[in-house]
Copies of this chain bind each other. A is one copy, B any other.
Amino acid sequence: MITGCFLLGRARDAMTQEEQQLIEDSIREVVELPPRKTLVRAGERIRTSTYLIDGFIGRYMDDREGHRQLVATHVPGDFVDLHGFALKRFEHDVATVGRARVATFDHEVLARINERHPNLTRILWFSTLLDAAMHREWIFRLGRLDAAGRVAAFFCEMEARLDMVKLVDEGRYALPFIQTEVAEACGVTGVHVNRTLKMLRERGLMTFGDGLVTIHDAVGLRRLAEFDPRYLYADSSELMLDARDDATT
């Protein structure tokens, strides 16, 4: 395994041995990226897709005054730019948060997979649908929750997603974000994130500092965030098997 990491982290269970091998053989190269390195700018023609092996990547949109909104975050095991295969252009920027290691795939090989491997295509499709499910959850949070709920939800989601790829150790996980970046994800100001973190700390729910998150009261934090991890479809293998039922019917 040249990636040195679970390829397609969680989707892996749904894939056959050959499919896993095929994906791995399709990698063009593996690259190390520095922090805050922009991979794709809005409007550029995209010819490769990126798989995140290690580190964190964000998708950003700017308002007229240049204020950023983080519209998605990616954790190790995410096929970050898979949708670029069909969209060809993004309406947003893509950049690393901390340092990251990624594998790149040319669109020609994805086109070949699309052409010849319908089951694998569906798994890839599924992984882009997960992104959409997370988007919907964020729409809900930004529309209905106050700052505390949003910030709590952000850390709950990161915990749940990182846990799926074994990057959480007893409620603790590394997250190379600064408070301003959390703010950009939650649609609040950095100052207010700071106040909110203080409140979460004082209530004994969680702490965040130096790129390390520690969740002390997962139940309380999830209640504040109205967090229900089902939207992450952690039991995706079950669902994909369901899908195979359809196929053979």
Contact = CB atoms under 8 A, between A and B. Distances in A.
A59 B143 contact: no
A136 B88 contact: no
A22 interface: no
Given A121-B114, A249-B108, A63 B145 contact: yes
Interface string A119-152: 0011001101101110111111011110000000
Contacts of A243: 85-86, 88, 107, 111
A132 B121 contact: no
Interface in A68-117: 69, 71-72, 83, 85-89, 91-92, 107-108, 110-112, 114-116
- Copies of this chain, complex-wide, total 2
A9 interface: no
Contacts of A186: 143
A38 to B, nearest CB: 17
Nearest to A139: B71
A115 B92 CA distance: 32
Nearest to A72: B136
Contacts of A136: 59, 61, 71-72, 91-92, 135
Contacts of A69: 139-140, 143-144
B121 A91 contact: no
B239 A61 contact: no
Contacts of A88: 239, 242-243
A233 B91 CA distance: 9
Contacts of A92: 136
Interface string A49-67: 0000000000101011001
A2 interface: no
Interface in A33-53: 43, 45
A4 interface: no
Contacts of A67: 144
Contacts of A210: none
B126 A87 contact: yes
8 contacts: A45-B242, A59-B136, A63-B145, A72-B139, A91-B137, A108-B246, A132-B132, A135-B135
Given A63-B140, A114-B121, 7 more contacts: A43-B230, A63-B144, A69-B140, A72-B136, A88-B243, A121-B121, A143-B186
